A = this chain, B = another copy of it.
Amino acid sequence: MALTWPANTPGLGLAAQRVAKRIEMFTEGKIKIKVYGAGELVPAFESFNAASAGDIEMYQGAEYYWQGHHKAFNFFTTVPFGLTGSEHYAWINFGGGQELWDELSAQFNLKGFANAWTGVQMGGWFRKEINKLDDLKGLKFRMPGIGGEVLRRLGVAVVNLPAAEIFPALQSGTIDGSEWVGPWNDTMFGFYKIAKYYYAAGFHEPGTVGSFGINKKTWDGLTDTEREMITTVMQAEGQWQTSEFRARDLAALNKLVDEHGVQLRSFTNEMYREFGRLSGEVVRDMASQDPLTKRVYESYAGFRKGAISLSKIQEGKYLRARELPFKWA
């Protein structure tokens, strides 16, 4: 298994090692999985081609990394103003998502599995306050993928940089700001030392769910029990590590605010509306490019409509009520 990040990456890298260990343990050593960090066996983003060709059996990453191979992969990670992670799992498991994903992956001789949700991603780190859409114009900001395209349409000078290059670029002033993941992961890179304004929620990656991929010929050659074991291990990892993100994020957030003087900010409703309108535009543009992407989009968008009706009165309404001023503890 080749990872798209270092093998010892907190959370994600350990998840790959745990998956490997459990599969080996459950099959009594019949299946042994050796975990390689990004670049150890193949470069990070070559793991897709390598697993597709059967040079390796598995990768761990995020499906939107493969959008150069097919645009539809974006929907199996997240899209701007799309589903939250909880809604995403519901779409994958019970809304037809996995079937579409299987159809897409089979074209590349792969079988994909959902991994953990990172939480609703943060809007990113800014050196100065952003109070209106105009404040974004000309800003040099790091945001990859189709979220970045939304910002580009708002006049942002969007750049994409790999993780390790973000901090130096912030420090030298090459960029004015950057998003990454969430409080836990962002803290490790020390962005708070340079950019003090931390915006949330982000609009661009509400449901980022990672993935594992297995060479399809390898997968098809396994026994029923082995396939069920692997499926179970994958589902378990999704549950376990999603909760790890939540627990570590909340601890990290408190530390950022209390110990590092980070200022939490939120975009205005006027900004969110424009982010929303342009997110829809970008997603629809992408969906119109080929028939399979269009079918995936239609399934996703249909599920999203129902998910919004439900989340609005359940989780959304509850979280709002819980914020009201009353003594509980």
Contact = CB atoms under 8 A, between A and B. Distances in A.
16 contacts: A25-B225, A81-B322, A81-B328, A89-B239, A89-B242, A89-B246, A92-B243, A94-B243, A246-B310, A251-B306, A266-B317, A273-B325, A274-B326, A280-B326, A305-B329, A312-B323
A223 to B, nearest CB: 10
A277 interface: yes
A193 B181 CA distance: 46
A116 to B, nearest CB: 10
B308 A253 contact: no
A314 B239 contact: no
A236 B240 CA distance: 9
Number of copies: 2
6 cross-chain pairs, A with B, having the tightest CB-CB distances, nearest first: A94-B247, A235-B236, A276-B326, A280-B328, A239-B239, A90-B246
Interface stretch (A57-65, A128-136, A152-160, A226-234): A226-234
Given A119-B314, A250-B309, A276 B321 contact: yes
B200 A314 contact: yes
Interface of A: 22, 25-26, 28, 81, 84, 86-87, 89-95, 119-120, 122, 182-183, 200-203, 206, 225, 228-229, 231-240, 242-244, 246-251, 253-254, 257, 264, 266-267, 269, 272-277, 279-280, 283-284, 301, 303-329
A82 to B, nearest CB: 9
B201 A93 contact: no
Given A95-B247, A304-B328, 10 more contacts: A89-B242, A119-B314, A235-B236, A239-B239, A246-B307, A250-B307, A253-B306, A301-B329, A305-B329, A312-B323
Contact of A323 (B257, B308, B324): B308
State the majority secondary structure of interface residues on A.
helix
Q: Which of A84, A201, A242, A303 has the most CB of B within 10 A?
A: A201
A217 to B, nearest CB: 23
